[in-house]
């Protein structure tokens, strides 16, 4: 099986296209299921985040698998194939693995070095495993990528240089409360929430991981009031309690908008959660409150930070007077040199990637020769057993103790003769041309290919991994 990745990201796809392709919930489940059922595909994983959608697959044939994934992405996202083609990239085999490591280590993120991608990859792997679409190869590569990503965050300073998307968004949003914004040298690190947001009234819409990060950051910086609204009241209450705020119903969002200074929204909704009409009504309520006896201090305007994909906020909201809207497109277009990691930091991460990839490659190649080694030892054992049986028939007068010593001697000789070639072939498995060493071992000892394959299948079954026809049968039953 070979590894293939077909995807699009913030680097080459317009936001309008990316948000149409980004899938969540049932739509993501259906895409994952259909990719796994496609011809020449034996395993699938879909990584769908706010700035990338990537399909990883274990494939038998390159061209047919690419065509199938193209067609499925187009069908499930309702984006015409011609529009998708100009945005999609394809990586195969070693380049696909390298790309996955680059993504997991945060080097391909909108904010280079951010660590949230690790959680998103872990979630994608869990979903694929739960839906029974994750083959052994992709599972191993997923573990490799997570390990490399963790090392990049813990052993280098790339995480400090690359702020999370939440931190970057809050820094940009703070510009509307502080004229100097990111350019101000006030000692705040790029990853820290800006002090310009202290004392502001904040509405967080959504109760997922991104919303939780936003709520925690705003609570640390000293928001005057923190309100959390979500479609699930219980989740909103739980997040609000953890950040020292209060929960609100989605039905009350307009009223909450009327009293908020900052709105941070990141939901999995397929449509707009905040429309221009809602904001317009909130502004009218705000104006009425300002002219009443209980004027609120939040009359300076409304700042919205939309980190959802697809967008939560209707883009025309930005045209309303007194409203500032920052979304993923704004962040992608805005330059932030303070968040750029150094060449040294990137080099340290790439070194970790190379180390992990080399160790994985060596272990994988060594594992491929194991069935051949087991088959060789099994054949040797069968030869010894046959010779012992023949000897026992010819030497009827030999007592049991003597026969046992003869058997032990023959097995020791066999083990010693096989020790060096089996150890050596495992060592050579990690070197270029490993296949030729394994083939030579099979030819020299006249090993039955069926016996080698039987060992490999037995290993896979013990590990809980389906093989060949079993995978196909599983796909047909679902």
CA dist 353 to 45, 97, 107, 122, 131, Å? 21, 10, 11, 18, 29
- CA distance between the termini of the chain: 22
pLDDT for position 341:
75
Alpha-carbon distance of 146 to 137, in angstroms, equals 14
Q: Where are the domains of the chain?
A: 2-161, 188-339, 367-465
Q: With respect to CATH, is domain 2-161 assigned 3.30.460.30?
A: yes
Closest to 303 in 3D by CA, of 196, 185, 217, 211: 196
Percentage of the chain modeled with pLDDT above 90: 42
Residue 105 designated active-site: no
Are 373 and 384 within 8 A, CB to CB? no
Are 32 and 127 within 8 A, CB to CB? yes
Q: Considering the domain 188-339 in this protein, what is its CATH number?
A: 3.40.50.720
Q: Which of 50, 87, 105, 266 is catalytic?
A: 50
Alpha-carbon distance of 247 to 196, in angstroms, equals 24
Q: pTM of the full predicted structure?
A: 0.66
Q: Please provide residue 372's backbone torsions phi and psi, each rounded to the nearest 5 degrees.
A: -65, -40
pLDDT for position 308:
86
- Residues (pLDDT < 70) of the chain are 160-164, 178-194, 291-300, 333-340, 365-370, 425-438, 440-442, 444-445, 447-478
């Amino acid at each position: 099986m070979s590894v293939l990745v077909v995807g699009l990201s913030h680097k080459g796809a317009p936001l309008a296209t990316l948000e149409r392709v980004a899938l969540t919930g049932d739509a993501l489940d259906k895409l994952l299921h259909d990719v796994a059922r496609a011809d020449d595909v034996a395993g699938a994983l879909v990584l769908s985040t706010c700035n990338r959608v990537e399909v990883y697959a274990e494939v038998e044939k390159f061209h047919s698998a690419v065509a199938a994934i193209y067609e499925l992405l187009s069908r499930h996202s309702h984006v015409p194939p011609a529009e998708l083609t100009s945005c999609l990239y394809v990586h195969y085999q070693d380049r696909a693995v390298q790309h996955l490591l680059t993504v997991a280590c945060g080097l391909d993120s909108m904010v280079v070095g951010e660590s949230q991608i690790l959680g998103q990859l872990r979630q994608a792997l869990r979903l694929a495993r739960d839906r029974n679409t994750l083959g052994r190869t992709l599972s191993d590569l997923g573990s490799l990528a997570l390990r490399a990503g963790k090392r990049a965050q813990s052993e280098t300073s790339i995480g400090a240089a690359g702020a999370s998307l939440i931190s970057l968004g809050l820094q940009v949003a703070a510009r509307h409360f502080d004229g100097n914004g990111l350019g101000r040298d006030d000692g705040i690190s790029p990853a820290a929430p800006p002090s310009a947001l202290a004392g502001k009234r904040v509405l967080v819409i959504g109760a997922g991981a991104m919303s939780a990060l936003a709520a925690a950051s705003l609570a640390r910086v000293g928001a005057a009031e923190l309100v959390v609204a979500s479609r699930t009241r219980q989740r909103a209450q739980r997040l609000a309690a953890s950040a020292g705020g209060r929960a609100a119903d989605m039905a009350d969002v307009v009223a909450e908008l009327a009293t908020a200074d900052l709105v941070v929204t990141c939901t999995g909704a397929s449509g707009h959660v905040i429309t221009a009409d809602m904001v317009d009504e909130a502004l009218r309520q705000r104006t009425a409150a300002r002219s009443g006896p209980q004027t609120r201090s939040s009359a300076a305007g409304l700042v919205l930070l939309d980190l959802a994909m697809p967008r939560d906020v209707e883009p025309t909201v930005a045209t309303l007077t007194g409203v500032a809207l920052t979304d993923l497109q704004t962040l992608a277009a805005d330059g932030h040199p303070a968040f750029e990691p150094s060449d040294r930091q990137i080099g340290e991460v790439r070194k970790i990637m190379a180390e992990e990839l080399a160790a994985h490659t060596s272990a994988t190649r060594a594992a491929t020769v194991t069935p051949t080694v087991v088959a060789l030892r099994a054949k040797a054992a069968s030869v010894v057993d046959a010779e012992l049986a023949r000897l026992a028939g010819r030497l009827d007068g030999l007592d049991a103790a003597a026969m046992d010593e003869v058997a032990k001697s023959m097995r020791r000789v066999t083990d010693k003769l096989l020790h060096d070639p089996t150890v050596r072939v495992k060592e050579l498995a990690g070197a270029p041309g490993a296949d030729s060493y394994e083939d030579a071992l099979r030819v020299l000892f006249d090993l039955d290919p069926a016996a080698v394959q039987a060992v490999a299948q037995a290993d896979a079954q013990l590990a809980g991994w389906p093989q060949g026809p079993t995978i196909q049968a599983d796909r047909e039953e679902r």
